[in-house]
Amino acid sequence: MQEVAGKTAFITGGASGIGLGMATVFARNGMKVVIADVRQEALDEAMAGFANTNLAVHPIRLDVTSRTDFVAAADEAERVFGPIHLLCNNAGIGVTGPIKDATYDDWDWLKSVMLDGVINGVQTILPRMRAHGQGGHIVNTASMSGVFASGDAGIYITLKYAVTGMAEALRWELMDENIGVSAFLPGGVRTNIFMSHKLRPDGMTTGYAEQDARKENLAAAFRDAPPDAPISQITMDPIEVGERVLRGIRRNDLFIISHPEFREGLQARCDALMRAVPDEPLNPSRLAMLRQMGTLLVQPIYADQTTPHGAPDAEGREKTVR
């Protein structure tokens, strides 16, 4: 989707952090943007920020775990702005800790938002996108944790791998339909993610109470630090993130990577996979059979990925093209 002006975006978790950064950048570039979020107060606050801007932004209260509410939200989005061209499956919760401490409730809650929520987005909006035939794009916000196991966040990592995998599978399926699909893989971004545990539904147990409390302190430290303090430099600004996502959409990137700091970590995982391939002669009859059966031994979607150069500009375009 090279040209975005006049098109409609639907962003889950759009009232805060990365979703709000994307919404702002998309709207500044002429898109009509629906921000869908479970927190009414966050929607109100976000809309107050858009007051007097002339940007086309419409808030919808939505819990992505509800299939029926997702359908109602998509209906409302189409009524207000017309056909949806861009779906950003972005809502997520940053509750983390080791798998060995997890309760079933921890698994169930995180899975319902971060995997079922993405499934609901695709099941609801992809058929509409295919039906209007004007082309489109889907962005699944995964994480660096969606491509390598980045620490004490086992459930989060498991689910982020799933949404990365879904983006890859869907991209191949939709290759001939003028609908691009990206997995967005950010590192640290300045958002409200450390307060996610506050959204835990009543009655659910957790093995992560200690981590939740630690994150709350960290959130306060981030909030109180001046912009030039070292702690403020750790994370990326959500507007810059939005510009990087828009560039990825315009470029039709399979993987949108905002943080080049993770190059070494990614390389280490790719190298480990390659080292794990048995060093032995190929079995010619098995290879011939696999080829005859049309088994996908090399997935063509990977060949198209190229490297973006430098940071993008405010229109989500490359500043330097080599």
Ligand X SMILES: NC(=O)c1ccc[n+]([C@@H]2O[C@H](COP(=O)([O-])OP(=O)(O)OC[C@H]3O[C@@H](n4cnc5c(N)ncnc54)[C@H](O)[C@@H]3O)[C@@H](O)[C@H]2O)c1
Q: How far is the CB of 13 from ligand X (least distance, A)?
A: 3
Q: How far is the CB of 145 from ligand X (least distance, A)?
A: 7
83: buried, middle or exposed (CB in 10 Å: 19+, 13-18, 0-12)? middle
Which residues 6+ apart lie within 8 Å of 257 measured at CB? 185
- For residue 106, state whether it binds ligand X (rule: CB under 6 A): no
- Could you give the CA distance from residue 129 to residue 117 in angstroms, rounded to a whole number? 18
- For residue 259, state whether it binds ligand X (rule: CB under 6 A): no
Comparing CB distances to ligand X, the nearer of 17 and 308 is: 17
Contact stretch for ligand X (CB under 6 A) within 7-15, 98-106, 243-251, 280-288: 7-15
- Are the C-beta atoms of 194 and 220 separated by less than 8 Å? no
- Is 156 an annotated catalytic residue? yes
Which residues 6+ apart lie within 8 Å of 210 measured at CB? 97
Among 120, 196, 206, 211, contact with ligand X (rule: CB under 6 A): 196
Q: Residues of 268-301 as b/e, b for ≥16 C-beta within 10 angstroms? A: eeeeeeeeeeeeeeeeeeeeeeeeeeeeeeeeeb
Comparing CB distances to ligand X, the nearer of 93 and 174 is: 93
- For residue 212, state whether it binds ligand X (rule: CB under 6 A): no
Annotated catalytic residue, options 156, 161, 208, 302: 156
Q: How far is the CB of 94 from ligand X (least distance, A)?
A: 6
- For residue 95, state whether it binds ligand X (rule: CB under 6 A): no
Residues in the chain: 322
Q: Which of 132, 156, 161, 165 is nearest to 146 (CA)?
A: 161
Contact stretch for ligand X (CB under 6 A) within 193-201, 204-212, 276-284, 310-318: 193-201
- For residue 139, state whether it binds ligand X (rule: CB under 6 A): no
Amino acid identity at 174:
L
Q: How far is the CB of 46 from ligand X (least distance, A)?
A: 9
Which residues 6+ apart lie within 8 Å of 2 measured at CB? 250
Q: How far is the CB of 69 from ligand X (least distance, A)?
A: 9
Which residues within the stretch 33-62 sit at the binding site for ligand X (CB under 6 A)? 37-39, 42, 62
Among 92, 136, 242, 248, contact with ligand X (rule: CB under 6 A): 92
Give phi and psi for 164, each to the nearest 5: -65, -45
Size of the residue set binding ligand X (CB under 6 A):
32
- For residue 65, state whether it binds ligand X (rule: CB under 6 A): yes
- For residue 253, state whether it binds ligand X (rule: CB under 6 A): no
- Could you give the CA distance from residue 259 to residue 189 in angstroms, rounded to a whole number? 10
Among 87, 193, 245, 249, contact with ligand X (rule: CB under 6 A): 193
Alpha-carbon distances, residue 7 vs 10, 29, 196, 231, 232 (angstroms): 10, 10, 31, 37, 34
Q: Is the dihedral of CA 81, 83, 86, 87 positive or negative?
A: positive
Compute the half-sphere exposure of residue 101: CA atoms within 13 Å on the CB side of its CA. Answer: 13
Q: How far is the CB of 36 from ligand X (least distance, A)?
A: 6
Among 57, 84, 91, 257, contact with ligand X (rule: CB under 6 A): 91
- Are the C-beta atoms of 180 and 252 separated by less than 8 Å? yes
- For residue 16, state whether it binds ligand X (rule: CB under 6 A): yes
- For residue 183, state whether it binds ligand X (rule: CB under 6 A): no
Contact residues: ligand X, CB under 6 A: 12-13, 15-19, 37-39, 42, 62-65, 90-94, 113, 117, 141, 143, 186, 188-189, 191-193, 196, 199
User: Catalytic residue positions?
Assistant: 156
